[in-house]
Amino acid sequence: MPQRELSDPITMRLPLDVLAEVEEIAAICERSRSWVFVRALKAYLAAEGREIRELAQARRDVDEGRGEDLDAVIREMEGAGKGAAA
């Protein structure tokens, strides 16, 4: 497996209870604290982080005129519903 390029070391302060959980998980998994942090950050980026980035992109799209007027979409849907067979 090829080596991944790593950043320079970073420093952060954590609440002691969070650090204790990270250290416990690292010990149970026989891994480093860095391994636990990377996995936790990847999980965050894949879920909440992705949602934040998608919302930012949607805002940029609207600001650049690549959006639809909600009232127009609702009118269109209501019109389509009237012509549909029951």
- Which tokens in the block code for residue 8? 């320079």
- Percent of the chain exceeding pLDDT 70 equals 94
Q: Find the mean pLDDT for residues 58-79.
A: 88
Q: Find the mean pLDDT for residues 77-82.
A: 81
What number of other Cβ atoms are within 10 A of residue 36's Cβ?
A: 19
Q: Euclidean distance between the first and final Cα of the chain, in Å?
A: 58
The confidence score (pLDDT) of residue 3 equals 84
The confidence score (pLDDT) of residue 24 equals 98
The confidence score (pLDDT) of residue 69 equals 83
User: From CA 5, how far away is CA 8, in angstroms rounded?
Assistant: 10
Q: Report how far apart, in Å, the C-alpha atoms of 19 and of each of 45, 64, 80, 85 are.
A: 20, 43, 56, 60
Q: Find the mean pLDDT for residues 61-71.
A: 87
Q: Find the mean pLDDT for residues 25-49.
A: 96
Entry pTM: 0.64
